[in-house]
Structure 1
Amino acid sequence: MRGIRGIRGAVLSARRHGRAAVEAVRRAWVEPGRERDLAVQAVKAALAACVAWAVAGWWLKAPMAFVAPWVAVVLVESTVYRSIAHGLQQVAAIATGTVVATGAVLMVDSPLGAMGLVLPVAVLLGNWRRLGSQGIYAVTGALFVLTGGPVTVAASAARIAEAVFGAVVGIAVNALIRPPVYLRSTRAALEDAACEAQEILDAVADRLAEDEWDAHVAGSLHERALRLCRLVDQARAAVGWSRESLWANPRRGRAISPPGQDYDDAVTVLDHVAVHTTGVTRLVLEACDGDGKKPRPGPHVTKPYAEFLHCSARAIRLYTQSRFAPSGQDERADQELREVVEDLVRNLDDLRQRLHGAMPGDPDVLATYGTLLTQARRLADQLVSH
């Protein structure tokens, strides 16, 4: 029985992965996005390898022609800057390993003995900080020499020349044929984080307004709030990734500018939104705890607080629409955002008055109300200032 269940589970998993793959292919075909970018980079890598092999292997008939397409294909990197930086590091690593191994074999006159001497040195060189993530190619270059047949200075020089040629081809293909720019994926990352924040705040507000205190739902919302922090971190990384994608990029001069202050402001706002959302969902979760130790605010507090959360969610939605519209800044959304922010300030003032008027003498209830007010004030300050 367990075996049958395992087979069914594997079949269902294969179907899900198959549907996901088909959907990814469909999106790459019909619309711009991450899937199409990945497909283009894959085609470019194959093209770089073919060009390098056609010249080094078919035309020049180099003795170690496979080195050129191998280097070319791995240097069609995610950004032009990385292609250049990693290309220089990789060629330096291959050249270092090749030179060290060639010298050792010529001195020892025994490939096996030279291997025992060279590989520890090559591994240490591979951890040299200046070679970065390409340091491992020092070991690869040494192994090509040690296991590739008779060792001569001419053969080793040809191997280094083929690596240089492959690097030039890979960098040129990545820089000249649709060089990658990631502004679109950065906007998508920011919009995903903002949309998730809006949905969580609306969901919490709905339950507070209806006086629903379900521990399971509260736990689920708190988990989503914790994941929201990771989405904001991904958006922050995407902003840096977009800026890097424009370094040494020929497309930068074609009406493409790096992410501006709006992107940094959006990350700052979303960071505070994530912190606020996590705090609110944690407070609700603790209030739903079955032991009854945490006090639950009454309707005279939860209803105005729910209205404040709804208003905050609308402000977040309009903020992204205003700042990251496909055609530039959306003036209509910007005007709506100003109106919602004014409502947000009024709701916060009303919430302050209600909370101060409802403050009891119980220290636990006082702490709960104070936490709600502090979180609300911090979120409103960020939304208003930006």
Structure 2
Amino acid sequence: MTWTSDANRAAATRLSGAARAVQRAWQGPGRERDLAAQALKAALAAWLSWAVVGWWLQAPMAYMAPWVAILLVESTVYQSVAHALQQLAAIAAGTIMATGLILLMHNRIGAMGLVLPLVVLLSSWSRLGRQGIYTATGALFVLTDTQVSLTASGFRIAEAAFGAVVGIGVNALIRPPVYLRNARNSLSEAAQEMAGILEAPARSLVDGQWGEDEANGWHQRALHLKHLVEECRSAVGWSRESLWGNVRGRTLAQSLPGKDDGEVMVVLEYAAVHTTELTRTLLEAATEDRQERWSGLPLIRAYADFLTRAAELMRLYADSGFGAEDQDALNQAAEKLRATVDGLHEQMPATVRAEPQDASAYGALLLQAQRLAGHLESSARQGPAHGARDTAGVDS
């Protein structure tokens, strides 16, 4: 009965995971609590819609209101509004087309054969987005109804509109979702990973303990930075969108970093590109005869110092982007980084004369150092986020 044991273990694992998710939702802000809050809000929106339209008003098509309401408790208030407009347009189009053809043809089967191809085609219209499918849904509600009339179709559209209003209202007024914390965490994680990638070769270049395997590991980590930066861009977009139409928007906008998110993203993108190129140069230079020989060169020791300084500045810059108002520390780190780059320039001629066979490798390393330092230094000297405030207590 091996399959029974496996099934029991799988079930126990799933239950354990669910229990941990509930515990995390109970303990503090996080993804689990966000999901639980959205689920409860969607249920509340459906209940309110049915209580008004179905129980109080006894509307003939009352199911339309809770159905639309529960669908429109979206991830952001902006999405609730945008999707509501698209969904109502889709439902109205399908409902009107189906009603008109049935009343004209007096033949339900014939009307269905004509309407369905049209509404399915209309559902792919880009203006309706993902809500286009409700064009066909609205038409099917009419085509499968035993009583078709202009009045009934009007009620159907009106009840859908009421459900949309309730869904938007609940999403906007009750704990509207905000994603500031997600963006902050994503940016910080990307900056910390970038700093870690810069520090790794700094230690190995000095002691000579590096080769193709180590260099390839650094380069693979650097290649992954592209995905981290893309995740950051997505998180920043969500954080901005979550403030649109949000009743907490004025207060939370003051909690956003004063430095524009776009500036932080530009720094991360440039740093990721130059870090990747730097590790590629080290990978191409990784041969057995260079390991021990390079570890004793003043240029390589200075380059290791540059990598350490760049990692330090990257971490300080990430902190400043989230409210650490220490401009002096940023300026000092930028000055140290510039000094190391100037030292590399000074040592380059003597090193090339002594090691002409590696001149191209030294030149490539120096070029990447100069580019990376230029972007980090100019960004750091612009200063930290002006007026930034702590967002640690902001729920998403």
TM-score range normalised by the length of the shorter chain: 0.7 to 0.9
Secondary structure of the corresponding residue to residue 250 of structure 1: coil
Q: CA deviation at 1:96?
A: 0.6
Say which of 218, 223, 226 aligns to 1:226: 223
**What's the counterpart of residue 387 of structure 2?**
none
**What's the counterpart of residue 367 of structure 2?**
374
Q: Which has the higher contact order (CA 8 A, sep 6+)?
A: 2
Say which of 320, 324, 328 aligns to 1:330: 324
The TM-score with structure 1 as length reference comes to 0.88
Q: CA deviation at 1:306?
A: 1.6
1:151-190 matches, cutoff 5 A? 151-190=148-187
Instruction: Tell me whether 1:274 sits opposite 2:267 in the alignment.
Output: no
Equivalent pairs, count: 376
The TM-score with structure 2 as length reference comes to 0.86
Q: CA deviation at 1:100?
A: 0.2
Q: Is 1:348–1:376's contact at 8 Å kept on the other side of the alignment? A: yes
Cα distance in structure 1, aligned partners of 2:344 and 2:8? 54
Q: Is 1:34–1:185's contact at 8 Å kept on the other side of the alignment? A: no
**What's the counterpart of residue 310 of structure 1?**
308
Q: CA deviation at 1:46?
A: 1.4
Moved more, 303-312 or 249-258: 249-258
Cα distance in structure 2, aligned partners of 1:363 and 1:19? 62
Secondary structure of the corresponding residue to residue 162 of structure 1: helix
Cα distance in structure 2, aligned partners of 1:217 and 1:278? 14
Cα RMSD between the aligned structures?
2.8
Q: Is 2:190–2:225's contact at 8 Å kept on the other side of the alignment? A: yes
Cα distance in structure 2, aligned partners of 1:296 and 1:111? 85
Moved more, 16-25 or 93-102: 16-25
Q: CA deviation at 1:170?
A: 0.3
Structure 1 residues 191 and 23: CA distance shift in structure 2, 3 A: farther
Q: CA deviation at 1:80?
A: 1.2
Q: CA deviation at 1:73?
A: 1.0
Structure 1 residues 377 and 21: CA distance shift in structure 2, 3 A: farther
**What's the counterpart of residue 241 of structure 2?**
244
Structure 1 residues 277 and 18: CA distance shift in structure 2, 3 A: farther
Q: CA deviation at 1:256?
A: 2.9
Cα distance in structure 2, aligned partners of 1:143 and 1:362? 79
Say which of 122, 142, 145 aligns to 1:145: 142
**What's the counterpart of residue 385 of structure 2?**
none
Q: CA deviation at 1:363?
A: 8.3
Which runs of 5 or more structure 2 residues have no equivalent in the other structure?
380-396
Q: Is 1:359–1:366's contact at 8 Å kept on the other side of the alignment? A: yes
Structure 1 residues 119 and 25: CA distance shift in structure 2, 3 A: same
**What's the counterpart of residue 354 of structure 1?**
347
Q: CA deviation at 1:362?
A: 8.5
Q: CA deviation at 1:312?
A: 0.9
Which amino acid counterpart does residue 317 of structure 1 have in structure 2? R
Secondary structure of the corresponding residue to residue 298 of structure 1: helix
Identity %: 51
Q: CA deviation at 1:177?
A: 0.8
Query: CA offsets per residue over residues 239-265 of structure 1, 9 Å max, x none?
Result: 222222222221123353466434222
**What's the counterpart of residue 298 of structure 1?**
294
Cα distance in structure 2, aligned partners of 1:102 and 1:289? 76
Secondary structure of the corresponding residue to residue 261 of structure 1: coil
Moved more, 22-31 or 98-107: 22-31
Which amino acid counterpart does residue 279 of structure 1 have in structure 2? E
Which runs of 5 or more structure 1 residues have no equivalent in the other structure?
none
**What's the counterpart of residue 394 of structure 2?**
none
Query: CA offsets per residue over residues 282-321 of structure 1, 9 Å max, x none?
Result: 222333478x9x9997121332212111111111111122
Cα distance in structure 1, aligned partners of 2:293 and 2:258? 42
Q: CA deviation at 1:153?
A: 1.9
